[in-house]
């Protein structure tokens, strides 16, 4: 049988490129390399400008915890009504995409306003991605805002934005579950008490895994670890800026986390969960206790979104041998350094962060202004959280304010997960993390 007439595509194995093709491609690459080289070692970025104070501005914000998309659109709508010569275009992304989108968009100056996390002013400020707005900060703001809020956009005594979302993690619990297991809520005042309550809930068959956490390999894991680190008396860094989490309280905090998994008290799904996963499991009645941001209180008590609505209560995070600091998870609105319309952008920032606007949306995120907490209208919107916030916000633990924070956080996330999955002991995992982060901190 002869297959000589069978179609045989020969293009793939055809003759090699001709000299002309090689020269053309090579020449093109050479020209491209020449032009590309100009961009790296020459020139310099275009810098932003004040602009006319009107026109269109673009803001990058978050569609997750804190203010909802509807809240932000409503605030923006009222801003535009008050400033008809300024139009605001909003882009919403998940928290996990916020940092990288800010970085990627910086050279083009795509955004005039960006939402930044408390851990980014050091990085974005030193790299001039966001503008230093220290000179725009009215002197009285420092006194009028809560301490944790003032610290949020600050690095090296410079301000790189205005605090907007003041948040920390709280302990939420299902009161009906506790009642079934005959556990008194006062037991949740300490982490030891939380474990005792979890054992009772499990023993009584109320929930198979009473605790759920956001321990996925992400920044959410570091937020939970920070809370426990503080409670066990540890610190991220020592006085000279070197790693200290591998000592004392840092190790105890991680041992506590791992032990709660091996004892079957923490849902094993926690190592794959972010805050929204925590909220869903808790709202489905499949967990009795959870740490999460303020926003969960409203959603878990909303019958449209929760099967445990009406049973959810909130507490300050429990205390340990080192106290009960809450993690500073606040965020600020910053001016993009490349913005060509900084005056209009600043008007927008000061409007959104103003006390009346923040008071109006206190149910989603508590205001950064001290006096708001004495305003009956604000207290009325969220009395349970405001009561706990007054205590919790007075004692916040900051994650390291360093330029290479992201790289350090990635190392910690991996090593903490190694310990949680039982691949390393807590001490070994944190020793390894310290070894890897020491050179990063020195840069």
Partner 1 sequence: MSATGVATAPRKKRRARVGGKGEARFAFLLLLPAILVVFGVVLYPVARTFVISLFAVDSPLPGFYPFVGLSNYTRVFHDPAFYGVLRNTLYFTLVSTGAELVLGIAVALLLNAPLRARWFWRSLVVLPWALPTIVNGALWRWIYNGQYGALNGLLDALHVSSTPVQWLGSPFLALNMVIVADVWKNTSIVVFFILAGLQTIPTDLYESARIDGASAWAAFWRLTLPLLAPSIAVVLILRTIEAFKVFDIIYVMTGGGPASGTQTVAFYTYLQAFSNQLFGYGAALAYLIVLAVFALAMVYLRMLRQGQMSGVE
Residue in 167, 224, 338, 343 binding partner 1, rule: CB under 8 A:
338
Q: Residue 218 or 384: which CB sits closer to partner 1?
A: 218
Residue in 78, 217, 350, 359 binding partner 1, rule: CB under 8 A:
217
Given a contact cutoff of 8 angstroms between Cβ atoms, the answer to whether 129 and 336 are in contact is yes
- In whole angstroms, give the CA distance from residue 292 to residue 278: 8
- In whole angstroms, give the CA distance from residue 220 to residue 211: 16
Q: Residue 127 or 142: which CB sits closer to partner 1?
A: 127
Residue 35 contacts partner 1 per CB under 8 A: yes
Residues numbered 109-168 forming contacts with partner 1, rule: CB under 8 A: 123, 127-129
Residue 203 contacts partner 1 per CB under 8 A: no
- In whole angstroms, give the CA distance from residue 283 to residue 307: 6
**Neighbouring residues of 323: CB distance < 8 A, sequence distance ≥ 6:** 230, 231, 233, 395
CA 356 and chain centroid, separation: 25
Give the DSSP letter string of 330-388: -EEEEEBTT-S-HHHHHHHHHHHTSHHHHHHTTTTSB-SBGGGGG-HHHHHHSHHHHHH
Residue 407 contacts partner 1 per CB under 8 A: yes
Residue 32 contacts partner 1 per CB under 8 A: yes
Residue 99 contacts partner 1 per CB under 8 A: yes
Residue in 96, 187, 255, 375 binding partner 1, rule: CB under 8 A:
96
- In whole angstroms, give the CA distance from residue 241 to residue 383: 39
Residue in 21, 22, 23, 28 binding partner 1, rule: CB under 8 A:
28
Residues numbered 241-300 forming contacts with partner 1, rule: CB under 8 A: 267-269, 271-272, 277, 280-281, 284, 286
CB atoms within 10 A of CB 7: 5
Q: Residue 99 or 324: which CB sits closer to partner 1?
A: 99
Residue in 110, 190, 204, 404 binding partner 1, rule: CB under 8 A:
404
The span of 22-30, 223-231, 301-309, 316-324 binding partner 1 (CB under 8 A) equals 22-30
Residue in 153, 413, 430, 437 binding partner 1, rule: CB under 8 A:
413
The span of 84-92, 99-107, 348-356, 364-372 binding partner 1 (CB under 8 A) equals 99-107
CB of 230 to partner 1, least distance (A): 24
Residue in 9, 84, 205, 239 binding partner 1, rule: CB under 8 A:
9
Residue in 144, 354, 417, 425 binding partner 1, rule: CB under 8 A:
417
**Neighbouring residues of 64: CB distance < 8 A, sequence distance ≥ 6:** 94, 95, 275, 276
Q: Residue 79 or 209: which CB sits closer to partner 1?
A: 209
Residue 374 contacts partner 1 per CB under 8 A: no
**Neighbouring residues of 24: CB distance < 8 A, sequence distance ≥ 6:** none
Given a contact cutoff of 8 angstroms between Cβ atoms, the answer to whether 317 and 188 are in contact is no
Give the residues across from 335 on adjacent strands: 113
Residue 94 contacts partner 1 per CB under 8 A: no
Q: Residue 86 or 112: which CB sits closer to partner 1?
A: 112
CB of 337 to partner 1, least distance (A): 8
The span of 92-100, 185-193, 367-375, 380-388 binding partner 1 (CB under 8 A) equals 92-100
Residue in 110, 414, 425, 428 binding partner 1, rule: CB under 8 A:
414
Residue 17 contacts partner 1 per CB under 8 A: no
Residue 435 contacts partner 1 per CB under 8 A: no
Angle at 134 between CA 132 and CA 137, to 5 degrees: 130
- In whole angstroms, give the CA distance from residue 169 to residue 219: 13
Give the DSSP letter string of 183-202: --GGGGGBHHHHHHHHHHHH
Residue in 242, 380, 391, 423 binding partner 1, rule: CB under 8 A:
423
The span of 38-46, 158-166, 190-198, 238-246 binding partner 1 (CB under 8 A) equals 38-46
Which residue pairs from 92-100 have beta carbons closer than 8 angstroms and sit at least 24 positions apart in sequence?
A: 92/61, 92/62, 92/63, 93/60, 93/61, 93/62, 93/63, 94/62, 94/63, 94/64, 95/62, 95/64, 95/65, 95/219, 96/218, 96/219, 96/274, 98/60, 98/62, 99/406
Residue 410 contacts partner 1 per CB under 8 A: yes
CA-closest candidate to residue 389, choices 374, 404, 377, 399: 374
- In whole angstroms, give the CA distance from residue 110 to residue 116: 15
CB of 4 to partner 1, least distance (A): 4
Residue 22 contacts partner 1 per CB under 8 A: no
Exposed, middle or buried: residue 13 (CB in 10 Å: 0-12, 13-18, 19+)?
Answer: exposed
The residues of the shown chain that bind partner 1, judged by CB under 8 A, are 1-10, 12-15, 18, 25, 28-29, 31-33, 35-37, 39-45, 96, 99-100, 103-104, 106-107, 123, 127-129, 216-218, 267-269, 271-272, 277, 280-281, 284, 286, 338, 404, 406-407, 410, 413-414, 417-418, 421, 423
């Amino acid at each position: 049988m002869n297959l000589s007439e069978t179609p045989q595509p020969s293009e793939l194995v055809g003759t090699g490129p001709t000299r002309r093709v090689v020269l053309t491609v090579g020449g093109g690459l050479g020209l491209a390399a020449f032009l590309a080289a100009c961009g790296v070692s020459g020139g310099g970025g275009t810098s932003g400008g004040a602009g006319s104070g009107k026109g269109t501005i673009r803001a990058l914000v978050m569609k997750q915890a804190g203010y909802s998309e509807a809240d932000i659109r409503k605030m923006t709508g009222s801003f535009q009504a008050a400033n008809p010569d300024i139009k605001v275009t909003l882009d919403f992304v998940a928290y996990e995409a916020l940092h990288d989108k800010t970085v990627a968009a910086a050279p083009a100056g795509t955004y005039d306003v960006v939402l930044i996390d408390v851990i980014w002013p050091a990085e974005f400020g030193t790299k001039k991605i966001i503008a230093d707005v220290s000179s725009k900060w009215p002197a009285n703001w420092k006194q009028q805002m809560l301490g944790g809020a003032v610290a949020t956009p600050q690095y090296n005594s410079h301000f790189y934005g205005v605090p907007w979302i003041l948040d920390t993690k709280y302990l939420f619990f299902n009161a009906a579950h506790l009642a079934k297991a005959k556990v008194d809520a006062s037991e949740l005042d300490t982490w030891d008490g939380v474990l005792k309550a979890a054992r009772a809930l499990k023993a009584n068959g109320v929930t198979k895994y009473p605790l759920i956490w956001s321990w996925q390999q992400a920044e959410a894991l570091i937020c939970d670890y920070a809370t426990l680190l503080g409670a066990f008396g540890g610190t991220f860094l020592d006085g000279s800026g070197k790693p200290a989490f591998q000592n004392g309280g840092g190790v105890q905090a991680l041992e506590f986390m791992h032990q709660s998994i091996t004892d079957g008290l923490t849902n094993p799904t926690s190592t794959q969960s972010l805050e929204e996963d925590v909220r869903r499991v808790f709202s489905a009645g499949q967990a009795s206790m959870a740490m999460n941001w303020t926003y969960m209180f409203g959603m878990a008590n909303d019958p449209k979104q929760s099967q445990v609505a009406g049973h959810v209560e909130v507490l300050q995070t429990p205390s340990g041998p080192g106290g009960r600091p809450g993690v500073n998870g606040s965020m600020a609105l910053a001016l993009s350094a490349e913005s060509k319309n900084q005056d209009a952008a600043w008007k927008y920032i000061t409007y959104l962060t103003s006390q009346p606007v923040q008071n109006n949306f206190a149910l989603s995120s508590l205001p950064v202004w001290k006096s708001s907490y004495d305003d009956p209208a604000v207290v009325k919107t969220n009395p349970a959280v405001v009561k706990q916030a007054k205590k919790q916000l007075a004692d916040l633990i900051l994650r390291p304010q360093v330029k290479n924070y992201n790289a350090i956080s990635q190392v910690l996330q991996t090593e903490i997960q190694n310990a949680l999955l039982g691949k390393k002991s807590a001490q070994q995992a944190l020793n390894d993390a310290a070894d890897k982060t020491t050179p990063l901190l020195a840069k």
